[in-house]
Structure 1
Amino acid sequence: MTLALPSLTSLNPPRLGRIERYVLVQQLRSLGVALAVIGALVMLIDFVEVSRGVGSDQDLSALRILGLVALKSPSVIVQLLPFVFLFGTLAAYIGLNRRSELIAMRAAGVSAWRFVLPAAGMALVLGVLTVTVLGPLASAGDGLWQRERARISGAAPDASSNAAIWLREGDDQRQMIIRAGRQDRANARLLDVTFFIYTTDSTGNRDFSERIDAQSAALSAGRWRLTNAVGASIGQRAVTYSSLDLISSLADEEAFERFARPQSTPFWSLPNQIERIENAGFASTAYQLRFQQLLATPLVFAAMSILAAAFSLRLMRLGDLAKMSIAAVVLGFAFFFMNQFSSAMGSAEVVPPLVAAWLPPILTGLAAFTLLFYTEDG
């Protein structure tokens, strides 16, 4: 008995037909137009804002302001990309409907799923590309914008900053809270430093152990080098040290840099940033929420694409296409406000960041699929 081997053609993945490719091309064109319109509006608003804000403090040229806008606007545009997919997909299918091309497709027995699902798949791919490539570039630009704005307005720290610095570090056995009255960047030192040292017992309770005040502290090679320090433990006399070393888990540059905003932290750097913040003893909820929201971005794009398609499949001869389109826009804005509300709940730790980030896109996707099933299959 011989076994029949599958042919090479049967092993090939399914390919898009002409109809699917045509609809995808129309959708890509509409997405490009929607992105251009929204991007132009965002840059125009940012240009006016930067001109009135930073530009009013310093005499900046129009070219310089445009460069600052180019750093600031991409992060805002990336946040508005769900509306690009909503408006772009809606415009593409309404155009097909107006030209009676949808009527011809449906009359030929073509199911809406044949061109809606490939469009949603394309939205997923573009979402992954946005999260992994475009998003990090926009986050880097936002970080540069924040530093440039602070430098131009004079708020950036110079060689010697008078702003108090708080740090926290430690492990399961010991925790240190560090307060520095000033910092000397030129010599890489913290000045007027106080170390509050806590020990952790076997039950997990932390007890105050020692306080050390020092004239200066320099971080190098995993150690704090304290100069002219005075230490005192509970129930003991103060001890003076001309020089004292304390083991540290911080990197050398972390004594002087502050944690970047979640929006300014690239996607690939967020896991390490979350670990650093938690190791330092701070809450990383905002960064966890940002990371989960970025992971959910492809699903958001796909849900918006399906939602727009489901609302625009109604044939023009049946009427109410304008009302359906308005309803799609209203639902899109409803998703935006629901996402903002969910983010606020997650930031306040009312709900876990995982739930706050994934619940809005999942609900939107389910609503879009439900409407599409009703429209297509009754």
Structure 2
Amino acid sequence: MSLGIGRLERYVLARTLTGVAGALAVIGAVILLIDFVEVSRTVGGRGDAGFPRLLWLTLLKAPSTILTLLPFAFLFGTLAAFVGLNRRSELIAMRAAGVSAWRFILPAAAAAFVVGATTVAALNPLAAVLGAQFERSRDAVLEEFQTSKPKDTWLRQGDASSQVVIRAQSHDETDGTVRLKNVSMFVYRVNSSGGLEFSRRIEAEEARLMPGYWRLRGVREAAPGAGAVRSETLSIPSTLDEQAALERFTTPNAIAFWRLPATIRGAESAGFSALPYRLRLHQLLATPLLFAAMSVLAAAFSLRLMRLGGLAALAGSGVALGFVFFFFNQFSGALGKAEIIPAFAAAWAPPLLALLSGLTLLCYTEDGGIVRRRVAGRMKA
């Protein structure tokens, strides 16, 4: 077999990608409907949001959900493509001509891997931006009509010499500029042994994040053993930029892949646990492998010859096993967030297990069948 992709591989690959596109269209339509109902229940039931605003919120939220369920598109699409080839006896003709199953499955798995890498590198940042915009727009709608007091906002920044804990009663992110209202800043020094010593407390009516510093207005400052000092304005150095500050108000899933390493470093320098961001980074890095594993798993469960019967049951078993691996992936993520298992293991174990399961079944179906036929031929001879 040549190293290039021949006409047969291109044909099977085109059928597979068509099946994946069809499955993605169905999954996307279902997700849009479910998200619209969910947004209508959570936002429309608490705020005076009309249909256009609810539809806009749904469109902002849907890409993140679709990317989460994208492995199912490869599972269902690949399974539908290979079952269709099997029903039309095309797989039988290929294998009767001596074509190994590895020859047309590996290009499909490689394409799934490439699509996964593209998803992480290009589509994930777009979905993260839309997801963050959804969270801000949803919170803005709910804040307009909520009757209870909003929860306090907490931030933390720091470097090798100081740590600052920031509490605010509310925050505003208009035009990407972070503004905090009714702010309290607790400033700590880092001593020679690495411990924290309280230095001073700053109260301000408003704090606005500027490049490299906080600009405070209506300031009252107090240090241990000294009286309060009032001033109209005050500048405090900041290690946060606007993007990093906005990310503190969002979930790890709403942070783009390319921003995660900087977010991890910023969280660790400020004294926060970077585990959720580190777990998210490993999950994104494992996404191409997960897509390829789902493709191999689906193909392995659809190679049974039609004349032998039981293809529908075998394909159904493949779908069920795909669901098992998906929920195992979510369960591993929960264990990783709880620090029960390392973030690396939580992110990489499910796709590796799915890929090894698919390859094992392929070896048994393809290479094992060849061995059995050779043994039977020798016994007859």
Which category describes the TM-score, using the shorter chain as reference length? Answer: 0.7 to 0.9
Say which of 161, 186, 203 aligns to 1:173: 161
Q: Which residue of 2 aligns with 1:272?
A: 262
Residue 350 of structure 2 aligns to a residue whose secondary structure is helix
Q: Which residue of 1 aligns with 2:320?
A: 330
CA distance in structure 2 between the partners assigned to 1:229 and 1:313 by the alignment: 74
Q: Is the 8 A contact 1:58 1:153 kept in 2?
A: no
Q: TM-score, normalised by structure 1?
A: 0.85
Cα deviation, residue 217, structure 1: 6.2
Say which of 283, 287, 299 aligns to 2:289: 299
Q: Is the 8 A contact 1:127 1:299 kept in 2?
A: yes
Residue 166 of structure 1 aligns to a residue whose secondary structure is strand
Cα deviation, residue 182, structure 1: 5.4
Paired amino acid for 1:232: A
Paired amino acid for 1:141: L
Residue 152 to residue 190, structure 1, CA distance change in 2 (3 Å) = closer
Residue 312 of structure 1 aligns to a residue whose secondary structure is coil
CA distance in structure 2 between the partners assigned to 1:59 and 1:166 by the alignment: 28
Cα deviation, residue 197, structure 1: 3.1
* 1:248-283 Cα shifts (integer Å, max 9, x gaps): 323368678743222222222222222333333222
Residue 69 (structure 2) pairs with residue 80 (structure 1): yes
Paired amino acid for 2:101: A
Q: Is the 8 A contact 1:210 1:231 kept in 2?
A: no
Residue 322 of structure 1 aligns to a residue whose secondary structure is helix
Residue 215 to residue 120, structure 1, CA distance change in 2 (3 Å) = closer
Q: Which residue of 1 aligns with 2:250?
A: 260
Residue 366 (structure 2) pairs with residue 366 (structure 1): no
Q: Is the 8 A contact 1:346 1:353 kept in 2?
A: yes
Q: Is the 8 A contact 1:163 1:181 kept in 2?
A: yes
Q: Which residue of 1 aligns with 2:374?
A: none
Q: Is the 8 A contact 1:150 1:156 kept in 2?
A: no
Q: Which residue of 2 aligns with 1:354?
A: 344
* 1:351-370 Cα shifts (integer Å, max 9, x gaps): 22222111110111111111
Residue 134 (structure 2) pairs with residue 123 (structure 1): no
Q: Which residue of 2 aligns with 1:314?
A: 304
Q: Which moved more, 1:326-335 or 1:245-254?
A: 245-254
Residue 325 to residue 154, structure 1, CA distance change in 2 (3 Å) = same
Q: Which residue of 2 aligns with 1:231?
A: 222
Q: Which moved more, 1:210-219 or 1:170-179?
A: 210-219
Q: Which residue of 1 aligns with 2:5?
A: 16
Paired amino acid for 2:19: S
CA distance in structure 2 between the partners assigned to 1:257 and 1:336 by the alignment: 27
* Number of positions where the alignment pairs a residue of Structure 1 with one of Structure 2: 359
Residue 36 to residue 167, structure 1, CA distance change in 2 (3 Å) = closer
CA distance in structure 2 between the partners assigned to 1:32 and 1:316 by the alignment: 25
Q: Is the 8 A contact 2:178 2:242 kept in 1?
A: no
CA distance in structure 1 between the partners assigned to 2:114 and 2:245 by the alignment: 40
* 1:101-136 Cα shifts (integer Å, max 9, x gaps): 111111111000000101101111111121122222
1:100-249 mapped onto 2 (5 Å cutoff):
100-154=89-143, 163-181=151-169, 190=180, 192-206=182-196, 208-216=197-205, 218=207, 220=210, 222-224=212-214, 228-233=219-224, 236-238=225-227, 240=229, 242=231, 246-249=236-239
Residue 80 of structure 1 aligns to a residue whose secondary structure is helix
Q: Which moved more, 1:172-181 or 1:296-305?
A: 172-181
Residue 253 to residue 32, structure 1, CA distance change in 2 (3 Å) = closer
Residue 48 to residue 257, structure 1, CA distance change in 2 (3 Å) = closer
Q: Is the 8 A contact 1:217 1:224 kept in 2?
A: no
Residue 75 to residue 183, structure 1, CA distance change in 2 (3 Å) = closer
CA distance in structure 2 between the partners assigned to 1:202 and 1:28 by the alignment: 60
CA distance in structure 2 between the partners assigned to 1:252 and 1:39 by the alignment: 33
Residue 312 to residue 223, structure 1, CA distance change in 2 (3 Å) = closer
* 1:12-35 Cα shifts (integer Å, max 9, x gaps): x93211211111111111112111
* 1:287-344 Cα shifts (integer Å, max 9, x gaps): 2111111111110010000001111111111222122112111110110111011100
What are the ranges of 5 or more consecutive residues in structure 2 without an aligned counterpart? 369-381
Residue 283 (structure 2) pairs with residue 283 (structure 1): no
CA distance in structure 1 between the partners assigned to 2:299 and 2:247 by the alignment: 47
Cα deviation, residue 58, structure 1: 2.2
Residue 72 to residue 164, structure 1, CA distance change in 2 (3 Å) = closer
Residue 257 to residue 334, structure 1, CA distance change in 2 (3 Å) = closer
Q: Is the 8 A contact 1:86 1:329 kept in 2?
A: yes
Q: Is the 8 A contact 1:167 1:280 kept in 2?
A: no
Residue 22 of structure 2 aligns to a residue whose secondary structure is helix
Residue 334 to residue 106, structure 1, CA distance change in 2 (3 Å) = same
CA distance in structure 1 between the partners assigned to 2:255 and 2:173 by the alignment: 23
Residue 34 (structure 2) pairs with residue 45 (structure 1): yes
CA distance in structure 2 between the partners assigned to 1:156 and 1:362 by the alignment: 47
